[in-house]
Amino acid sequence: MIRVLVTGGAGFIGSHLAERLVEEGNEVVVLDNLDLYYNIKIKKKNIQIIREKGCKFVEGDVTDYKFVKNIIKDIDIIFHEAARPGVRASIKDPFTSNLVNVNGILNILKASVESNVKKVINASSSSVYGKVEYLPFDEKHPTQPLSPYGVSKLAAEHYCRVFYEIYGLPTVSLRYFTVYGPRMRPDLAIPIFTKSMLNNESVIIFGDGEQTRDFTYIDDIINANLNIMKTNRADGEVLNIGGEHYVTINYLVNTLKAMLGSNSHVIYNESVKGDARHTLANIDKAKQLIGYKPKVLLEDGLNRFVKWYKENKDFYEA
Ligand SMILES: NC(=O)c1ccc[n+]([C@@H]2O[C@H](COP(=O)([O-])OP(=O)(O)OC[C@H]3O[C@@H](n4cnc5c(N)ncnc54)[C@H](O)[C@@H]3O)[C@@H](O)[C@H]2O)c1
């Protein structure tokens, strides 16, 4: 039995990952400090779900080296999802993004080198690209992040690569592209739009709505992580994990409105500094090295999200 640690496992992606890892027969420990970035009750609901599946939950902080060292002593593989997410939050408070996203991975890597950890899989982000020179982004595209969040995720990737090259610790960084699905973070567009539309309230778009995103369904993200457990071909690498198609925010809003039968008006506000204009992943490298192939198309994924949202109306409520 493989013993895995999922950091940030009370959050959106980490809790889905923990669930699947248990289902696949692994022994799963979840670590999270229940950070107050969003409603802690949501995180507690996630913990209840993963505990019922058989995960062990430990409350703790990845910025605490002693704690990290102690918790990973019997762990084989670490999935590092813990982070201070959010471009806008990082603009308001760059210190916290840096502390959690940079010191956090550094603690994980250093403690891993000093114990028996066989691989660290690091959750990175399309935010490392920032300024667009060409699309789709392949992994050789220049990295010029537009926000402190992007900078912190890029620094984390470099630490992973350096720990592979200097200390021989197998690491892989996965650049996730806008992840969505049931239990997704409440600060992201899809749940905010869905709530407004179901109440026939106005929907606010930042910018002209013609910015594009490569939306990636949560199950595809989880499959990419699981594929990495089965191969060492991506050790020391960064891989784009995207959905293989992109849409404008206007298209997203119109699609959701049609699905929900909503009459919501759209209000356009000033665009937010730090937000990328476009994201789209070239996923050839992930296809080649880990056999990654996204399966869920946007309309299907949105339908699944909306169905889940309607059946779990109180999930986001305090
Ligand atoms: N959701 C996306 O679209 C997306 C896109 C690109 C990259 N990512 C990355 O994926 C990972 C997971 O993101 P998510 O959307 O699930 O976010 P999330 O906020 O739902 O999950 C992150 C979890 O980390 C925990 N955490 C924060 N600080 C911590 C600390 N110091 N010690 C221990 N735990 C801590 C939080 O409590 C939270 O439960 C993050 O690394 C994020 O940067 C997410």
pLDDT tens digits, 108-163: 999 999 999 999 999 999 999 999 999 999 999 999 999 999 999 999 999 999 99
Q: Does the beta carbon of 85 sit less than 6 angstroms from any atom of ligand 1?
A: yes
Share of the chain above pLDDT 70, in %: 100
The residue contributing the CA closest to ligand 1 atom 28 is 83
Q: Does the beta carbon of 150 sit less than 6 angstroms from any atom of ligand 1?
A: no
Burial call 127-140: b when 16+ CB within 10 Å, e when fewer: bbbbeeeebbbebe
**Alpha-carbon gap, residue 105 to 88, rounded angstroms:** 21
The residue contributing the CA closest to ligand 1 atom 38 is 11
Whether residue 315 has pLDDT greater than 90: yes
pLDDT tens digits, 34-83: 999 999 999 999 999 999 999 999 999 999 999 999 999 999 999 999 99
Show which residues are catalytic: 149
**Alpha-carbon gap, residue 286 to 214, rounded angstroms:** 16
- What mean pLDDT, rounded, does the chain reach? 97
Q: Does the beta carbon of 17 sit less than 6 angstroms from any atom of ligand 1?
A: no
Quick one: average pLDDT of 3-7? Answer: 98
The CATH-assigned architecture of domain 3-179+215-243+280-295 is: 3-Layer(aba) Sandwich (3.40)
Sign of CA dihedral 140, 144, 149, 155: positive
**Alpha-carbon gap, residue 103 to 39, rounded angstroms:** 24
Q: Does the beta carbon of 32 sit less than 6 angstroms from any atom of ligand 1?
A: yes
Q: Does the beta carbon of 83 sit less than 6 angstroms from any atom of ligand 1?
A: yes
Closest atom of ligand 1 to 179 CA is 3
Quick one: average pLDDT of 159-172? Answer: 98
The residue contributing the CA closest to ligand 1 atom 34 is 32
Q: Where are the domains of the chain?
A: 3-179+215-243+280-295
pLDDT tens digits, 214-261: 999 999 999 999 999 999 999 999 999 999 989 999 999 999 999 999
Quick one: average pLDDT of 283-304? Answer: 98
pLDDT recorded at residue 119: 98
Q: Please, which residues have CB within 8 angstroms of residue 230's CB and are 6 or more apart in sequence?
A: none
pLDDT recorded at residue 274: 87
CA 11 / ligand 1 centre spacing (Å) = 6
**Alpha-carbon gap, residue 217 to 48, rounded angstroms:** 23
CA 187 / ligand 1 centre spacing (Å) = 12
Six-digit token string for 207: 């910018």
Six-digit token string for 285: 């490298």
Q: What are phi and psi of 279, to 5 degrees?
A: -140, 135
pLDDT recorded at residue 245: 84
pLDDT recorded at residue 263: 94
pLDDT recorded at residue 300: 97
246-to-119, 130, 251 alpha-carbon distances in Å: 31, 16, 10
Closest atom of ligand 1 to 14 CA is 16
The angle at the Cα of 123, spanning 173 to 153, to the nearest 5 degrees, equals 85
Say how many Å lie between the first and final Cα of the chain, rounded.
38
Ligand 1 binding pocket mutation candidate from 16, 33, 45, 220 (most atoms within 8 A of CB) = 33
CA 293 / ligand 1 centre spacing (Å) = 23
pLDDT recorded at residue 290: 98
Quick one: average pLDDT of 21-28? Answer: 98
Its pTM stands at: 0.98
pLDDT-derived band at 210, boundaries 50, 70, 90: very high
CA 8 / ligand 1 centre spacing (Å) = 6
Q: Does the beta carbon of 87 sit less than 6 angstroms from any atom of ligand 1?
A: no
pLDDT recorded at residue 52: 98
Q: Does the beta carbon of 237 sit less than 6 angstroms from any atom of ligand 1?
A: no
pLDDT recorded at residue 107: 98
Closest atom of ligand 1 to 46 CA is 39
Q: Does the beta carbon of 213 sit less than 6 angstroms from any atom of ligand 1?
A: no
pLDDT recorded at residue 313: 85
